[in-house]
Structure 1
Amino acid sequence: MTAPEPSARLADLMRDEWGRLLALLVARFRRLDLAEDGLAEAFEAAARTWPRDGAPANGAAWLLTAARRRVLDRLRSEQVLARAMPLLEVEADLAARARRVMADAGEPLTDERLRLVLLCAHPRLSREAASALSLRLVLGVPTADVARLFLQSTPTMAARLTRARKKLAGERFALPPGAELADRLAVAADVAYLAFTAGYAPATGDAVVRAELAGEAVRLVRVLRDVRPPDGDLDRATELDALLALVLLQHSRRDARVRDGAPVLLPDQDRTAWHQDEIGEALDLLAPLASAPPAPYLLQALVAAEHAIAPTAAATAWDRVLARYDELLALTDTPVVRLNRAVAVAEVAGPRAGLDALSGVALRGHRLPSLRAELLRRAGDLDGARHAYDAAVALCDNAAERDHLRRRRAELA
């Protein structure tokens, strides 16, 4: 097999290794700002030299060595190396701390990216800032996509990320004790789901789905479940089980969501292409939760399960889906929940009822006008649908979805 080009190899390392390398540097040098800058400079150096000299056999080790040298140079130039070294947290101590918070005597927590997520989930930061910073640092989600997830402009999000980094300056890169660990795991769960969303429905670029990013987020949820305290809050444990079920159910459809580079909507998907092993695991997770109190991730997972168990799109129990969204709306009244509920309303009571359910909903991006366009189309208002499609196209930054919207509009003619 032909070795990948250096540029492609570097792109793969950026996607797969950024979070781990950054976490190792933060553990070593205790400076998030220097670690991030040093790693970025190492990638820049690789982009200059690898095409000329060839990619090294162990690209991750090359990048880590280069980044360490740059951080050490910066520390020496700041004349703070002597003061920084006593603060270093060695890996042996980190592993010992990890073993003390494991639910059993099994494998110790050694995932450096999880430590970085927990650092980003520090109480100094708001939950939104912690989630945004973790997405950017741990999984390398572009700032523009993070901004879309939080319904903000890219410059605003860039400024917020900078402020969040500054708030973490000097914080210890270690696992927090029991109660604080449970709180941070809850924030980390939100982070994982936001990361999954960035992969499952990318706001920018030309991909319908970023399966690698979504898969990494699924893995992060598994790690969070593995390290949750055995005597922790039962409701939080239930939500982690529900969150894993939710992402597994959604991720199971990844191969059916794309055809010839174009998105395939849920009713048109080939259900034989869904990953039945992941669906089965998710349903097993949900079975013991049937009598659990309503909670956001649980209700969303139950909605996804209704789609998973239906043999065809037409057989979906939309009345049960709508009932779940009504429960979810009572718990968390957000524009996204109202948007998704309007879909269920339209299936139960018709497109006009769905349009009425969208009344008063304000949401950045193209998803609101694109849903309005589809409902207007079904209601027979073709002129209104054209205008809504035009609005959606103008607001859509994902090339594949934008092409899909244009095709849908063209079909109206």
Structure 2
Amino acid sequence: MNEALLRSLTPSVITVLVRRGADFAAAEDAVQDALVEAVRVWPADPPRDPKGWLVTVAWRRFLDATRSDAARRRREDLVDQEPEPGATPAVDDTLQLYFLCAHPSLTPSSAVALTLRAVGGLTTRQIAQAYLVPEATMAQRISRAKRTVSGVRFDRPGDVATVLRVLYLVFNEGYSGDVDLAAEAIRITRQLAARIDHPEVAGLLALMLLHHARRAARTAPDGSLVPLAEQDRARWDTGLIAEGVGILQAALARDRLGEFQAQAAVAALHADAPAAEETDWVQIVEWYDELVRLTDSPVVRLNRAVAVGEADGPRAGLAALAALDPALPRHTAVAAHLHERDGDLTTAARLYAEAAHRAPDLAERDHLTRQAARLNARRSR
């Protein structure tokens, strides 16, 4: 059974049913039933046209689930017009499905779950495992999301920026269980890039590839975090870096700069440096200036303070940091890093310990605790 094929066909099959009159929730349920049937039937009797087979079976499941006599008669009339499996278009525009899953009425977590289910083709169990929550909890989340978007009709272009933010949320979830969400986000974003010609879609794909290229070097054998400056760059995936840089260059050449392209440019400058001390921090600051102009995000300003500290010295970085809200996530950790570079080990050790106490996950907490212990050991010599 070709699971990858089933997952790749899922979005377009859902879209066909929606176009025929099914609401999203009913269409998605019918397609899931068809996928189960495909797993049962295909190994012994593979269809000549997999997509057409799925459309036919899913549409019949949808009709079977329709209880109203009036609705049944109306939809059964459509069965007579239903094309044969072989007549199903080879290419089906599934962009509406991306926009539906990123509908503004959904919470970010619900939008991510719905995208993984409908566009990614993952099962509820797989999504639950990836998020480390009970399957029943995830099933409720997906059901609520489907109810929210049921009946939504598109009479205007979808918001590409919202779709990209949802995909970036998926990517940043990383991986756990038997589903690698970072790789899944890249796969889905590749699909989107093949369907829509937009420089920011290309920018997001480039950003994902450049970040993913460093994945193998981000953790030590014991699972501890390895900071960018200390990573073994020989472990970076040069193929992904080359692909990401190529996609980014083509996007930037269109002169329609967006935040994902600018973030990818920062990642590309890190990837281009043979060693940490050879990083072009001046250019990185310039790209962060562009990001501040585009987003005015406090998180971007925080990252810019780090870059300024590298380009112009730690005191310049601390001056940039002083303008930001100390409650900002990672603010204390950045302050600790800059104070350490400025030679104030006592303050840096105290701030690392404070940052560890506020860390959102165990791996980051352990890393910051080790940083504080390292500086305290140096001070006691």
TM-score, normalized by length of structure 1?
0.64
Give the drift of 1:380: 2.9
The alpha-carbon distance between structure 1 residues 19 and 167, as it changes in their structure 2 partners (threshold 3 A), is farther
2: CA distance between counterparts of 1:36 and 1:218?
A: 22
2: CA distance between counterparts of 1:319 and 1:379?
A: 19
Q: Is the CA contact (8 Å cut-off) linking 1:339 and 1:361 kept in structure 2? A: yes
Tell me what 1:268 maps to.
230
2: CA distance between counterparts of 1:300 and 1:211?
A: 26
Q: Is the CA contact (8 Å cut-off) linking 1:19 and 1:138 kept in structure 2? A: no
Is 1:108 the counterpart of 2:91? The answer is yes
Is 1:300 the counterpart of 2:268? The answer is no
TM alignment of 1:250-329, pairs within 5 A: 250-260=211-221, 261-288=223-250, 289-290=252-253, 292-329=255-292
2: CA distance between counterparts of 1:389 and 1:239?
A: 36
Q: Is the CA contact (8 Å cut-off) linking 1:351 and 1:376 kept in structure 2? A: yes
Structure 1 residues 68-113: Cα deviation after superposition (integer angstroms, max 9, x where no partner): 9xx99xx79xx668748957999x78x99x96xxxxxxx51487xx
The alpha-carbon distance between structure 1 residues 161 and 216, as it changes in their structure 2 partners (threshold 3 A), is closer
Give the drift of 1:226: 0.9
1:169 to 138, 150, 153: 150
Aligned AA (1:285): I
The alpha-carbon distance between structure 1 residues 303 and 402, as it changes in their structure 2 partners (threshold 3 A), is same
Aligned AA (1:226): A
Q: Is the CA contact (8 Å cut-off) linking 1:351 and 1:378 kept in structure 2? A: yes
2:112 to 132, 135, 144: 135
1: CA distance between counterparts of 2:73 and 2:308?
A: 60
The alpha-carbon distance between structure 1 residues 37 and 294, as it changes in their structure 2 partners (threshold 3 A), is closer
Q: Is the CA contact (8 Å cut-off) linking 1:132 and 1:161 kept in structure 2? A: no
Tell me what 1:152 maps to.
none
2: CA distance between counterparts of 1:358 and 1:84?
A: 64
Tell me what 1:46 maps to.
none
How many residue pairs get aligned? The number is 332
Structure 1 residues 151-194: Cα deviation after superposition (integer angstroms, max 9, x where no partner): xxxxxxxx99998655423236xxx58x62xx344432222122
Is 1:187 the counterpart of 2:162? The answer is yes
Is 1:225 the counterpart of 2:193? The answer is yes
1:352 to 295, 312, 315: 315
1: CA distance between counterparts of 2:357 and 2:248?
A: 40
Tell me what 1:104 maps to.
none
Aligned AA (1:134): A
1: CA distance between counterparts of 2:162 and 2:75?
A: 26
Aligned AA (1:193): Y
Tell me what 1:401 maps to.
364
2: CA distance between counterparts of 1:168 and 1:143?
A: 24
Is 1:247 the counterpart of 2:208? The answer is yes
Aligned AA (2:207): L
Tell me what 2:293 maps to.
330
Structure 1 residues 47-68: Cα deviation after superposition (integer angstroms, max 9, x where no partner): xxxxxxxxxx95999xx9xxx9
Moved more, 313-322 or 368-377: 368-377
Give the drift of 1:23: 9.4
1: CA distance between counterparts of 2:237 and 2:73?
A: 49
Give the drift of 1:270: 1.2
Q: Is the CA contact (8 Å cut-off) linking 1:373 and 1:385 kept in structure 2? A: yes
1: CA distance between counterparts of 2:323 and 2:188?
A: 36
1: CA distance between counterparts of 2:257 and 2:367?
A: 36
2: CA distance between counterparts of 1:24 and 1:395?
A: 45
Structure 1 residues 118-166: Cα deviation after superposition (integer angstroms, max 9, x where no partner): 32234xx25xx46543212223767997xxxxxxxxxxxxx99998655
* Structure with the larger RCO, 1 or 2 (CA within 8 Å, 6+ apart): 1
Is 1:120 the counterpart of 2:97? The answer is no
The alpha-carbon distance between structure 1 residues 81 and 223, as it changes in their structure 2 partners (threshold 3 A), is farther
2: CA distance between counterparts of 1:187 and 1:386?
A: 40
Structure 1 residues 194-243: Cα deviation after superposition (integer angstroms, max 9, x where no partner): 211222xx8xx8x9xx99211111111111111116xxxxxxx1222222
Q: Is the CA contact (8 Å cut-off) linking 1:241 and 1:285 kept in structure 2? A: yes
2: CA distance between counterparts of 1:270 and 1:384?
A: 29
Secondary structure of residue in 1 paired with 2:322 = coil
Structure exhibiting the larger radius of gyration computed from Cα positions: 2
Q: Is the CA contact (8 Å cut-off) linking 2:130 and 2:181 kept in structure 1? A: no
Aligned AA (1:138): T
Q: Is the CA contact (8 Å cut-off) linking 2:12 and 2:92 kept in structure 1? A: no
Moved more, 300-309 or 278-287: 278-287
1: CA distance between counterparts of 2:179 and 2:342?
A: 34
1: CA distance between counterparts of 2:289 and 2:183?
A: 30
Tell me what 1:197 maps to.
172
TM-score, normalized by length of structure 2?
0.68
Give the drift of 1:277: 1.1
